[in-house]
Amino acid sequence: MKKLKVAVLGVTGAVGQEFLAILEQRKFPIETLKLLASGRSAGKKIGFMGKTYTVEEATPESFQGLDLVLSSAGGAISRALAPHIVKAGALMVDNTSAFRMDPEIPLVIPEINPEDIAKHKGIIANPNCSTIIMLVPLFPIHKVAKIKRITAATYQAASGAGAKAMEELQVQARDFLVGKKIIPKVLPHQIAFNVFSHNSKIGPDGFCEEETKMVKETKKIFHAPEIRVTATCVRVPVLRAHSEALFIETEKNISVDEVRALLAKAPGVKVVDDRDKNYFPMPLEATGQDDILVGRLRVDPSAANALAMFVSGDQIRKGAALNAVQIAEIAFKNK
């Protein structure tokens, strides 16, 4: 793959910073790098691979001559700048919800539907972090036994609400332990030593936006409009890495041993399933890992052809930045 002219849009955020770390770790071929953010972040200095870069304000004129824009600056900004990025001839891999459900824009997890990358018209959408963490370990099972129904319960880290939410969890934990009054500022409720329903808007059907995303995105990524999905999303006092309890029903019977063997060789998955030691996936151990950890594999006796499992995955990494960089690697390798 030739060296590319790359921009990171939203570089000062948690995902933006992770973009830089992953680009360096994977030795992504970069000819020039442009760091873009809002006007209030312009002028900040950021180091990358031994060089110091100055953050620039993102404007419609920022994208001329670029090959790739890795974007994580919020949906409104993505929608406003996307036409300018596409017009400039760059590929936009967008980590917001702005384009995920647009039928003309591919929604991609490289381990599942890399063939959709070639269908892009200048924009490829990165799925929701919870969707990615759920589907990477489920897809190998789906290919063999065809999943009919998924029930998910999520345990979502503060990182999903951004760097400021992570900082708020740390501050609240310290304040709680010394008896200080907790006053939430970033998240709607106390996050330290507490759990609460996911902090996205509740729709008229009673489901929050996060839950609805998991349902709709699964259908699109799997190319399976008939698949039934339901989710309950919860915010927990974990800094980084989401966990999910997953219950699935398949068309054909598949044993736990068969599933374990499938997952052991599946890309992007690591089996952590030691019943004797009661040792299973934990967000603490998923943090910083590229793979989704999967364990607690067992038969669900409440339905026919049903299985249960527990997964943990780094929300900032595979749930966001890594997935986007993997998309870009395939897109330009194929090109």
- Concerning whether 129 is annotated as a catalytic residue, the answer is yes
Of 83, 118, 130, 94, residue with least CA distance to 19? 94
> Is the dihedral angle over the CA atoms 244, 241, 156, 170 positive or is it negative?
positive
Q: Which of 120, 142, 198, 242 is catalytic?
A: 242
The full length of the chain comes to 335
User: What is the C-alpha separation between 281 and 309, in angstroms, rounded?
Assistant: 10
Say if residues 70 and 90 touch (Cβ distance below 8 Å): no
| Chain mean position to CA 320 | 4
Q: CA angle at residue 206 from 218 to 134, to 5 degrees?
A: 25
189 is known as an active-site residue: no
Q: How far apart are CA 192 and CA 203, in angstroms?
A: 26
Q: What is each CA distance from 73 to 69, 112, 132, 259, 332, in whole angstroms?
A: 11, 25, 19, 38, 23
DSSP 3-state assignment of 16?
helix
Contacts of 80 by beta carbon, 8 Å cutoff, 6+ apart: none
Q: Which is catalytic among the residues 84, 120, 129, 208?
A: 129
> Residue 104: left (phi > 0), alpha (psi -120 to 50), or beta?
alpha
State the catalytic residues.
129, 242
